[in-house]
Amino acid sequence: MVQQTHGGVAARLRIPQPVAARLGVARRLAAQPMAVTTIGSIARRHAAEEVSAPWWNRRAVRYLSQRLRPGDRVFEWGSGGSTVWLIRQGAKVTSVEHDPDWSAKVTARCPTADIRTIPGATAGRFRSERHLRDKGQHFFDDYIAAIDPVRDESLDVLVVDGLCRIDCLRRGAPKVKPGGILVLDDSDFGFLAPAVRVLPGWRPVSLSGFKTSTRDFRDTTFFHRPG
């Protein structure tokens, strides 16, 4: 996304895209100096972390760990290391995943998790983003609607880290209790900019850093619902 954000500048100045990307990261590091503490993640990637820790930067993981309480009710779109980690923190987790193979892998790692596999369809209203894993090939109406049975204002934490993120965010926001948190990963992606408009009055806290999982520099934003 750094390349997309700064691609126009790079084109006008004839700066190669990899250089433009590094310049973009440098500017963001200057804006959030503490993000430099995550640079070690580039060298610390382990296969075990793929399904044992959230695919967020370490500052974001730390931020949520300091606010989670045993017994907190969590719903997430996009299962993985976050699912396993949340269960280990004592949370009660419902996770929705579109990829059956990945879902099976996470379930094997954490058999007590409530993981619901809902693959895409060939027709529908809500098509996946072309920037993410499905690359706009399928529709995910049932995937988004999986949260509908959840009672309004009953979730302590809602994690939006899968497909159709803006539509999931819209559908899921009413389910977060006052004082609860909505987590939007990769919030620096340009197509996620409408999130702020969808959540008027919610207090955003954005944390930048390098991810251990992918080694790229990304933001995770925590939206706090007014209490």
pLDDT in tens, 31-41: 665 555 555 55
Handedness of CA 68, 35, 53, 192 (dihedral sign): positive
Q: What count of Cα atoms within 13 Å lies in the side-chain half-sphere of residue 55?
A: 20
Which pLDDT band holds residue 49 (cuts at 50, 70, 90)? Answer: low
**1, 188 contact by CB (below 8 A):** yes
Kindly report whether the global pTM for this prediction surpasses the value 0.85: no
Matching residue, tokens 């933001």? 219
**68, 89 contact by CB (below 8 A):** yes
**Coil/strand/helix, residue 30:** helix
Residue type, 98: H
Handedness of CA 131, 46, 68, 35 (dihedral sign): negative
- Provide the 10 A C-beta neighbour count for residue 214: 12
Between 35 and 114, residue with greater pLDDT = 114
Mean pLDDT of the residues in the chain: 85
Matching residue, tokens 């996304």? 1
Residue 1 has pLDDT above 90, yes or no: no
- Give residue-wise pLDDT tens across range 167-190: 999 999 999 999 999 999 999 999
Among 86, 88, 84, residue whose Cα is nearest residue 107:
84
Residue 17 has pLDDT above 90, yes or no: no
